Chains A and B, each alone.
Chain A
Amino acid sequence: MTKTQPLARGTSPAHTPAYTAAELLAVMASRTLEDGQTVFAGVGIPLLAATLAQRLHAPGLTILFEGGVLGPFIVPGELPPSTNEQRCTRRANMILPITDVLLLLQRGYVDIGFLGGAQIDHYGNINSSFIGDPAKPKTRLPGTGGGNDIASLAKIVVAMKHEKRRFVEKVDFVTSPGFLSGGDSRAKSGLVSGGMHKIVTDLAVLGIDPASKRVRIDALHPGVTAEQVRDNTGFDLEIAPDVHETKPPDERELRVLRELDPDRLYIA
């Protein structure tokens, strides 16, 4: 349970510590956050990433939970199992009604929202509602929760494993809006702020082309080729003009991350 599995990823130099795919996701996601931001985070990798950022480069980061929690203090080894129960209120600055914590998005107090989802498409739209035809679904998924609100009103960071079946040309259902059908379609629909910002995967960091609003490769993780990323993506990926290689997780990042999740519930 507590063993660290080395990544099967060729070219790490000898001084680079071994890390798991989940650890890579958490570290890379944490680096997308800046000091002073307010961030909506769910449990799992998002909360770990936000807390890691808080402990390292963003001490003034404020975390919000959808259940109605503002500025909780995450105790290492006591990660809450969900964002709607008492454990997630521990040493918070404030607890407030659900509608009011979500309205902070609409008022403009939230910089970044972390989201997950079953499928994500070329324009960063996310599906967490239906696989197949919504009228006769193959799989009914749990639904939006606050995902639709967060994606409608804040900049979005997604952290997910890079799998072809999840990166699809067109999602079966737009639960959480990205840039819809590209160009200015998002703004035209009435969504004048926010939108997909970064998709952090175990292979790359994907961003958005400013004109077309299509998902593209912004950075590749050490030892990963663009070819490899494309092979694992269900749509054509452009490459950003300033594409670069990410720095691998360093020892400090991994040490703090492992202190936060000593039972390796999320980072195994």
Chain B
Amino acid sequence: MTETQPANPYGVKPYSQLRAETAARDRSLHDKVVSLEEAAARIKDGEHVAIGGCMMSRTPSALIWALVRAKRKNLTFSRSIVSSDGDIVFASGIAKKVVTSWFSQGIVWGISRVMRAWVEQGRAEFEEWSHMSMGLRYRAGAMGLPFMATRSMMGSDVGRMRVGAAKDFTCPFTGDKLLLLPALNPDVAIIHVQRCDKYGNPQIDGLPFMDHDLALAAKRVILTTERIVSNDQIRRAPDRTAFPFFTVEAVVEVPFGSAPHECYGLYEPFFTHMDLFANMTKADLDKGVADYLERFYYEPKSWTEYLERMGLANLLTAARGGESIYDD
């Protein structure tokens, strides 16, 4: 009998490798606090980075900012839905590909000019999967399975474009026609949370999105957090802990770390700043993008200076909106 390797165009990780990588990590309860720059340095050129949150919510913006400043190369990003974070990783040149279900800054700003230009001119790739398929790919990865069956994405061109990766399958029990989605086990998941302790016990308020699956699927997790709290405080409400600390390899405290996107209960999107970005990319795209990156990504000496450049009025408006969720 000759052994042939099955076609694996989307690089589903062999189970033995998945287990070995997990086994090799330090999974003890230890201090994981690092600086934003140190966290960015842990992400290497060419890696697959899964972004936590969704669209304009709990985006790990500060860590993406640090990756842009570190001039990382050939990264692949994946996320349930990307907003201006997708534009930034394309425009800055750190990404060769974004894997997602929907890509634009937000409905009110129309179709992203950056996304359009980069994709239509072949400067970078936007690989499209249905939203549930993105979720099921992470979930398969989180479950230690090589695929997940679905009843979605069949018959459509979204499915047809992914042939070779997504496979038709007949259920051995019922004979139902199904589709198998390849597991997605990112090299690293970057997730922003409201609070965690120095060991990386994350607590999330509000919408959980796909973050639990991302954390379990990824080879390693880097957390950014609005606040580092004591381990005692975590233990007082363990039901609020979103995923296991032993998935986490590094913790960065970075207030307003999702700006200009929102962090549930703390601040809403910085809408004026989102308008500014959309307007700067309107007239002369390449110049607008370069000016924006210079002003907000390369020139500031620190994340605090980045926030200063966005302006106190913007920040206060966003914070007032964020806290309004608790005043109903």
Contacts and interface: CB of A to CB of B under 8 A. Distances in A.
A233 to B, nearest CB: 22
Contacts of B29: none
Contact of A84 (B56, B116, B153, B265): B56
Given A84-B81, A143-B128, A152-B151, A98 B158 contact: no
Given A139-B120, A142-B104, A86 B131 contact: no
A59 interface: no
Interface string B41-80: 0000000000000111100000000000000000000001
A95 B54 CA distance: 14
A192 B179 CA distance: 13
Contacts, number: 186
Given A67-B54, A106-B152, A141 B111 contact: yes
Of B112, B132, B179, B206, the most chain A CB neighbours within 10 A belong to B132
Interface in A87-121: 87, 89-91, 95-99, 102-103, 105-106
B119 interface: yes
Interface stretch (A27-35, A169-177, A197-205, A248-256): A169-177
A81 B108 CA distance: 8
Interface residues of B, number: 63
Nearest to A137: B120
B113 to A, nearest CB: 11
B209 A152 contact: no
B325 A86 contact: yes
B322 interface: yes
Interface string B138-179: 110000000000111111111101000000100000001111
Contacts of B104: 142
Interface string A109-152: 00000000000000000000100001001111111111111011
Q: Is the interface of A mostly helix, strand, loop or mixed?
A: loop
Interface stretch (B10-18, B95-103, B226-234): B95-103
A176 B156 contact: yes
Interface of A: 43-44, 66-69, 81-82, 84-87, 89-91, 95-99, 102-103, 105-106, 129, 134, 137-149, 151-153, 173-177, 180, 185-186, 189-192
Interface of B: 54-57, 80-81, 100-104, 106-108, 111-112, 115-116, 119-120, 126, 128-133, 135-136, 138-139, 150-159, 161, 168, 176-179, 206-213, 262, 264-265, 268-269, 322, 325, 328
Given A99-B138, A174-B157, 17 more contacts: A66-B131, A67-B54, A68-B208, A91-B328, A106-B151, A129-B128, A139-B116, A140-B116, A142-B104, A142-B111, A142-B115, A143-B102, A148-B131, A152-B153, A152-B155, A174-B156, A189-B155
6 contacts: A86-B206, A86-B322, A102-B132, A142-B115, A177-B154, A190-B168
Q: Which 10 A-B pairs have the closest CB atoms?
A: A99-B135, A189-B155, A190-B177, A145-B102, A148-B130, A102-B132, A190-B154, A146-B131, A142-B104, A149-B132
